[in-house]
Structure 1
Amino acid sequence: MGLLAQQRRELILEQVRARGAVRVTDLAERFGVSDMTVRRDLDVLARRRLVDKVHGGATAVGSPSTDEPGFVVKSHRQLAEKEAIAAAAARLVEPGSAVGLSAGTTTWALARRLVDVPGLTIVTNSMAVADVFRGTARSDPTVILTGGVRTPSEALVGPVAVRALRSLNLDAVFLGVHGMAAAAGFTTPNLTEAETDRALVEAGQRLVVVADHTKWGTVGISTIAALGDADVLVTDDGLAADARAVLAGEVEELVVAPVPGEGA
């Protein structure tokens, strides 16, 4: 006996909240119903403002996919989580390596942890990240700052940045993201920044994504990479168990950094 429509919609809503986003085709296969039936279910949930409909599926209700807070605003959010993530991510950086750091407040926190790692070459499209190394007493870091057009999040993006990144080969790239979800992957609210981030990702032999637990279920308008493209995801222990399960099944390695004082 099949599920009643209301039961099916409740299960769909659970999936959206747990995974951040769902696809019509996946839901239709799971529940043994037609794509049209699933779309009608999503219409009902969207009218109740429980989900946001997108092409081919639905996402969790949240900020608009093009909303982009400024760097200063974001730098005051989840401070303890970002510091814990930065400390864990810094342990993945080898002395003397060439490292790419995307723009963002979590990568900025990571940059402050890397100033004492000897012999690094840092490639970044973030003026804030470059400033961290400019202010250090060490003389051995080499910092390469891409050109480009500045975004509200202090990223340098566009064709100038893309051309610079496509000529480089990096040992590892550390990528900060606006959101992450099962269907949408790692996303940003800025189309041009997504193109620049993709060029940065392609320049690296290894991709490490740094993202605190609040990024789960947030979906920006443009996908940078699929979840499975990440060699390592470093997050914090505020991430829910169901989200951890999804991510552990996608990324090669999931690192969960404990946040001091949390749960004490």
Structure 2
Amino acid sequence: MSDHQNLLAEQRRALILDEVRRRGGVRVNELTRRLNVSDMTVRRDLDALARQGVVEKVHGGAVPVVEASTHEPGFEAKSALEAGAKDEIALAAARMVTPGAAIALSGGTTTFALARQLLEVPELTVVTNSVRVADVFHAAHRPGAAAEARSGTATVVLTGGVRTPSDALVGPVADQAIRSLHFDVLFLGVHGISVEAGLSTPNLAEAETNRLLMRSARRVVVIADHTKWGTVGLSSFAGLSEVDTLVTDRSMSERTRAEMSEHLPGLVVAGEETRAGGAP
């Protein structure tokens, strides 16, 4: 299958997921008419979304997967989801980072992807509460690491704290460390983002740690793939107006992009030139 066909499939599935979440369910025959594709194509799309764990197939269609708002998948489970989109987002976000900057990376698989893109940026100071992000920079500085990976030589500040299932460090120890720091840009991964709930997480302690990361940053850049839109975790920790820029992927439906643009100061779609608002 060509890259063009892959992109069309991704866009189609994003539209289907948007409809499922907005309406609470869809029928196959409705989707075939709306998308002008075959019944078999729609069923393949639903199978793919079901494998990702974002919809549940039912007779004649699909409904949203209902998870407890406190459910938090582990890092490995999340890494397997939307890997291509996360890499595109990471590339776009990395272009916002200038040599010598003091930046912060929160926990999450998208910030992990971003960390790998930042290894060649010189003289960075990186504050993070992610064990995985810290390991990316640490591994690059080990003897035997590729020369291009060592060229960045970032200074990494890892907060202490209690480890979550997604390998973020949270709680009073992490919070105390973050309170004394100040950085130019925070790149923030999120569990969920919506107009009503803003930014949210299933972990109460992580919500407070994320609040403090945002307070310590001059600019806040949320990096989140299209599946995060419309997801709501147990605890909201910020409104959309507190975000300077959202970087997302091309599979976001046009309707959702328009909704985002109404509520977010800046929107960057990875892989496209279209940009609303400013970048850091």
Q: How does 1:49-60 map to 2 (within 5 A)?
A: none
The SS at the match of 2:99 is: coil
Report what 1:132 is aligned to: 136
Query: Is 1:215 the equivalent of 2:219?
Result: no
CA spacing shift, 1:211–1:139, aligned 2, 3 Å: closer
TM-score (norm 1): 0.75
Report what 1:236 is aligned to: 249
Report what 1:200 is aligned to: 213
Report what 2:182 is aligned to: 169
The answer to whether the Cα contact below 8 Å between 2:130 and 2:168 also exists between their aligned partners in 1 is yes
Report what 1:146 is aligned to: 159
Query: Is 1:85 the equivalent of 2:84?
Result: no
The SS at the match of 1:99 is: strand
The aligned amino acid for 1:68 is: E
String of CA shifts for 1:78-125, please: whole Å, max 9, x gaps: 000000000000001111000000000000000000010001000000
The answer to whether the Cα contact below 8 Å between 1:18 and 1:243 also exists between their aligned partners in 2 is no
CA spacing shift, 1:155–1:175, aligned 2, 3 Å: same
The SS at the match of 1:249 is: helix
- Equivalent-residue separation in structure 2 for 1:258 and 1:141 (angstroms): 26
The answer to whether the Cα contact below 8 Å between 1:227 and 1:247 also exists between their aligned partners in 2 is no
Q: How does 1:41-56 map to 2 (within 5 A)?
A: none
Report what 1:105 is aligned to: 109
The SS at the match of 2:183 is: coil
> Equivalent of 1:74, from 71, 75, 78?
78
- Equivalent-residue separation in structure 1 for 2:268 and 2:251 (angstroms): 12
How far has the Cα of 1:258 moved from its partner? 3.2
Q: Any stretches of 5+ residues in structure 2 without a counterpart?
A: 1-17, 25-63, 141-149, 273-280
Alignment size in residue pairs? 207
Report what 1:226 is aligned to: 239
Report what 1:123 is aligned to: 127
Report what 2:266 is aligned to: 253
CA spacing shift, 1:76–1:168, aligned 2, 3 Å: same
- Equivalent-residue separation in structure 1 for 2:19 and 2:136 (angstroms): 41
Q: How big is the alpha-carbon RMSD for the aligned residues of Structure 1 and Structure 2?
A: 2.0
The answer to whether the Cα contact below 8 Å between 1:19 and 1:181 also exists between their aligned partners in 2 is no
The aligned amino acid for 1:254 is: L
CA spacing shift, 1:16–1:228, aligned 2, 3 Å: farther
How far has the Cα of 1:139 moved from its partner? 6.6
Q: Any stretches of 5+ residues in structure 1 without a counterpart?
A: 1-13, 21-59, 260-264
String of CA shifts for 1:163-219, please: whole Å, max 9, x gaps: 100101100000000011110011111000010011111110000000000011110
How far has the Cα of 1:140 moved from its partner? 2.9
The SS at the match of 2:263 is: coil
